[in-house]
Amino acid sequence: MSGPNTQVVLRLEGVGRMHGSGAAEVSALHEVDLTVHAGEFLAVMGPSGSGKSTLLALAGGLDRPTAGRVLVEGVPLDGLSRRRLADVRRRSVGYVFQDYNLIPALTAAENIALPRELDGASTRTARQEALAALAELGIGELADRFPDGMSGGQQQRVAIARALIGERRLVLADEPTGALDSATGEAVLGVLRARCDTGAAAVMVTHDPAHAAWADRVVFLRDGRITDQSVQQRIEVAR
């Protein structure tokens, strides 16, 4: 395949992340090389403490590596000012936090619309997009509800809708199905899959092999290193 689907959306080059110093030094991630193309859905698996969340935070520019570099759509994040980094995060990256991170004072629709409004979309357009995203995730009726009035699973779906709004090319999701029953979890995975099929790249942390099966490729982390990769049958598109 040639054209947009061969585009590299995310690249990690020799990425490492150390925490602390001296005897208390922890290597959360070590010399990780990873390339994710447009159209690709990548799952990251590994035991607790293996560096999955660290990898995702570095990929989304929420944390900075202590070695190597991260490029999003070809832009090295290390060279960016805080302001430009915030722009890249808002325009290119949708991030689903493990603990949702919704703003309690805003309704579901307002939470979802906020990144679009910050990006210059009109309130009306942003609201329409938010309603469409809520409908896609099967929770259209929650538009005007506040996070406090929603179950964990509902908040999780709002967080996913917020990550998908706009034309973000990179969707990063840390255990996005943790609070969902299996049918709802599968539906959410279907939405992520569809987003990749229309040209986004997604990286999802999961501990559930059935959920990883939705991905094109699975990367296994142990002690901050990629130990193995498995390519699933569906990706045999010639790149």
Binding residues for Mg ion, rule: CB under 5 A, are 52-53
Q: Of 48 and 81, which has the nearer Cβ to ligand ADP?
A: 48
Q: Of 20 and 152, which has the nearer Cβ to ligand ADP?
A: 20
What's the closest the beta carbon of residue 48 comes to ligand ADP, in angstroms? 4
Q: Using CB under 6 A, count the residues that bind ligand ADP.
A: 12
CA angle 33, 188, 191 (to 5 degrees): 75
Whole-angstrom distance between the N-terminal and C-terminal Cα of the chain?
5
The CA–CA distances, whole Å, from 27 to 144, 146, 223, 225 equal: 43, 39, 8, 10
What's the closest the beta carbon of residue 96 comes to Mg ion, in angstroms? 12
Q: Which residues, listed in sequence order, are joined to residue 17 by a DSSP beta bridge?
A: 29
What's the closest the beta carbon of residue 56 comes to ligand ADP, in angstroms? 8
Task: Pick the binder of ligand ADP from 4, 6, 14, 26 (CB under 6 A).
Answer: 26
Task: Pick the binder of ligand ADP from 51, 65, 147, 176 (CB under 6 A).
Answer: 51
Contact status: 65 vs ligand ADP (CB under 6 A): no
- Among 144, 155, 153, 170, CA closest to 61: 170
Contact status: 52 vs ligand ADP (CB under 6 A): yes
What Rg, from alpha-carbon coordinates, does the chain have?
17
Contact status: 50 vs ligand ADP (CB under 6 A): yes
Contact status: 49 vs ligand ADP (CB under 6 A): yes
Sequence-separated (6 or more) residues with CB below 8 Å from residue 90: 115, 118, 119
Backbone angles phi, psi at 32, to 5 degrees: -95, 125
Q: Of 50 and 154, which has the nearer Cβ to Mg ion?
A: 50
DSSP-assigned letter for residue 110 = H
> Where on the chain is the footprint of ligand ADP (CB under 6 A)?
19-20, 26, 28, 46, 48-54
